[in-house]
Structure 1
Amino acid sequence: MLEIEGLDVFYGDFQVLWDVSLTVGSAEVVAVLGPNGSGKSTVLKAIMGLTAAKRGRITFEGHDLRRVPTHGKVDLGISMVLERRRLFGAMSVQENVLLGAYSCRDKAEIARRLEWVESLFPIIAERRGQEAGRMSGGEQQMVAIARSLMSKPRLLLMDEPFLGLAPRIVHQILDIIRKIHAEGISVVFNEQNVQLSFGLSDRGYLLESGRVVLSGTGDEMLSSDVVRRVYLGG
């Protein structure tokens, strides 16, 4: 479904990704793990076109994503949940969610999508008229995910989806990712927690200093001596 080969990314003169390659299969959950500054968020931003790639190839179902603008990627079936949610706080919950379907002109289809996301997130239906900025961090994260799902993506990118959330909310978000996966949607997310990342994912990639240093199935990554030594202190 998604293939990245030899990706190099710079911020100005400073290189942040070196020769990064990864793949995401259909209906697959993939975790990108790494410490702060490892480049894991930059990988997702490069896929979405929020950060320009200097070199390398990014393809989605045969489409060269480096030639497609960000809004065009949404039309192809890719959506992204940005780090720290980025909601419009003064707008209602429903208004924020509906923004995710901005490119759809079929009102009946928009209504079907809204019904679908409300089935995944009952809180969206319960708080339709509430200002998004008055919700808790965990509730806002659910709104942000719901907004991204309104474009009906086949690939969902999630940038630090568990950042700053209480353990109870983290488990709720994990359950939501599993439900999204059960709908046949591929999910790529980045995270620093080893057990959480590779316990959830079909496959994973470990980044250090902008380079992929290890990849494998979730179980292989959990049992890796490299992961255990560097991240678990084993």
Structure 2
Amino acid sequence: MSKPDISHIEPDLRALARPIDGLEPDSRQARAHGERSVSAISASLKAHGQKKPIVVTASGVVVAGHGTIEAARLLGWSHLAAVTSGDSPEELRAFALRDNQTALLSEWDTAALLAELEALSDLGTEPAELGWSAEEMAALVVAGEGEIFETIDGTSTDRDGQGVQSSLSSMGAAKKELIQIGDTIVRVDPDRFQRLSDWLSESFEQGRPYADSVAIMIDGVCPE
């Protein structure tokens, strides 16, 4: 019988390799992994291999790593490195929630994140490959350039921009301070507006794909 391929697992973790088919999802798993999440995890595993183990109970019930298992299956992997915990069921239920929640409590340093994403983009790895959509990347730039005063849902905006004029008037937005990111219109700090305009021009020149998600509005209307 041939040995399973575990070359995707970090060498120091290969002794922990277990068949995926022998693992059982926790029926109480409270963290859902949508298509985008699984796709991002899959892209990471494909690019870097498995760098950290999942956590399972002695009977093979998954405690942490449900998304990793789904992503590994998409890649056709048969094995993953798994740490087997001997904690009580109650302790593991608490750990599963803490493991997910503590990750949500951390915050990005926007300026440092943007600098790193753009540096990697220059080296050939685009933000989309790392899990950031074009609109999210564009929003990072806006957030990093100053206070976002207020946002307006622009999904119902008609072609000449009249659909948002009453909202703009009610919040006192100067038309020259508006930027559209996807379907959202953002009023930004006017002192930062020129820097954002310069960034957009530079990003278009450099061919950054996320620049297409941002538009400087002219007289309150997003240009065609």
Q: TM-score, normalised by structure 1?
A: 0.23
The structure number with the bigger radius of gyration is: 2
Greater share of strand: 1
Greater share of helix: 2
Q: RCO (CA 8 Å, sep 6+): is it higher in 1 or 2?
A: 1
